[in-house]
Amino acid sequence: MRLPDLFTNFSQHSAGIDLCGEQIRFVQLRRHQKGYEISTFGSIKKSDTAFALTDILNTERAAHDLRNGLSSFTHTIRAAYVSIPERHSFLKLLAVPSTTGTSLDESVRWETTQHIPYELKDLTIDWMKVPTKDTSRTSALVAACPTQVSNAYRALIEKSGLLLFGLEPASVALVRAHQHHFSQDATCMLLSIGELESMAIVLNNGLPCFAASLPFTVSSIVAMLMKRFSMTHHDAQKSLYAFGFYKLRARGLVRDALKDTIDQLTKRIHDIDDFSQTHFNGMRALSEIRVCGPGASIAGFLDELSSRMKLSTPLATPMPGLTYSRHANDFPRVSQEYAVALGLAMNLVDAH
């Protein structure tokens, strides 16, 4: 699992593959003049026999889908960073007591097990030390996931014929892709509304402190609208993005249907804000919520969330200043769907 060199630049070529959405999405970057260029990007349909949401059902079938899908694109991807679904991962800033006779690595690993219902032998853990003024404790940003999950993803990539540079929680990749938004002297939230999973990531002074899954996803809302109005999937999705939270569109029927869902989301955000202020030293109340992911485009969602939270809720846009090859001119239009893959590709390849 890749965590060190968080928020760094990347080297000559780097690719990221996001397995956490309705489709497999990938982005390949390369150095270009004084900046960086997206040389190619694309998506591959997930087979129902290979995946169940973000879980791998059949490694052989999933590898076949990935291998064949990548082979149809102009630029060859031979190695990549790959996302671990948020619901299978753990990201948190931990305060580790300074102890004698125990290595820092051992202390961090032990402390991690106090926050996850897994034994140490069943976890894949990576961490980075975070500077702190408190000499009696060490701060460590820890990422972890069950070894069974990481092994499944490693096997998938190996059977696809790719070299795996590293595995990362989707939350880490998202923060890296949007790091330019976050102030070094504020407490903010990056709210990602995804197709199959959504998450809230709390950042303090520009550094992620923890990530939490959310029950507000595009697929769950579409399913609710399909049932509520006896709609097809296509019509429900179209209604969500066209009418959404606007009172005067479709007589406000879609807005009314979404009330319970947005109530649950705002309550969850308030709970997360309260938790962060209680459990992290120096944490302040949220000053801003940056929203990303496909769900950020739901009609009226940003305004509705801002009104309920009484905070600014601007759209978070991935890394600025990119250029695009002739194979990637359309990337800005779909960048919200590819933010995780972009964040993965921004890793420093030559650090391995």
Segment 86-100, tens digit of pLDDT: 888 999 998 887 665
In angstroms, the CA 3 to CA 8 distance is 11
Q: Find the mean pLDDT for residues 135-150.
A: 86
Q: Are 200 and 276 in contact (CB under 8 A)?
A: no
The structure tokens 């948020």 sit at 86
The structure tokens 């959404």 sit at 244
Q: H or E stretch including 112?
A: helix 104-113
Q: Is the dihedral of CA 291, 28, 165, 351 positive or negative?
A: negative
- 28 Cβ partners below 8 Å, 6+ apart? 13, 14, 15, 38, 39, 40, 41, 75, 77, 345
In angstroms, the CA 94 to CA 118 distance is 17
Q: Find the mean pLDDT for residues 200-226.
A: 92
- 3 Cβ partners below 8 Å, 6+ apart? 126, 127, 128, 141, 142, 143, 168, 172
Segment 315-339, tens digit of pLDDT: 999 887 788 888 788 888 889 999 9
- 244 Cβ partners below 8 Å, 6+ apart? 254, 255, 258, 298, 299, 300, 301
Q: H or E stretch including 220?
A: helix 218-229
SS (H, E, C) 13-49: EEEEEECCCCEEEEEEEEEECCEEEEEEEEEEECCCC
Q: Any idea what the CATH number is for the domain that residue 131 is in?
A: 3.30.420.380
DSSP state, residue 3: -
Q: Give the number of residues written for the chain.
A: 352
Q: What pLDDT band is residue 348 in, cutting at 50, 70 and 90?
A: low
Which of 24-28, 140-144, 204-208 is predicted least confidently?
Answer: 204-208
pLDDT > 90 in the chain, percent: 50
Q: Residue 271's pLDDT is what?
A: 95
Q: Which domain holds residue 20?
A: 13-219+260-351
Tokens for 342, please give them: 């972009």
- In this structure, is residue 271 part of a structural domain? yes
Q: Residue 159's pLDDT is what?
A: 92
Q: Find the mean pLDDT for residues 251-261.
A: 95
- In this structure, is residue 102 part of a structural domain? yes
Q: Find the mean pLDDT for residues 248-269.
A: 95
Mean pLDDT of the chain: 87
- In this structure, is residue 235 part of a structural domain? no
Q: Residue 6's pLDDT is what?
A: 43
Statement: residue 235 has pLDDT above 80: yes
- In this structure, is residue 2 part of a structural domain? no
Q: Find the mean pLDDT for residues 150-179.
A: 91
- Total structural domains within the chain: 1
More confident site: 329 or 230? 230
Q: Find the mean pLDDT for residues 126-134.
A: 80
Q: Residue 352's pLDDT is what?
A: 38
- In this structure, is residue 5 part of a structural domain? no
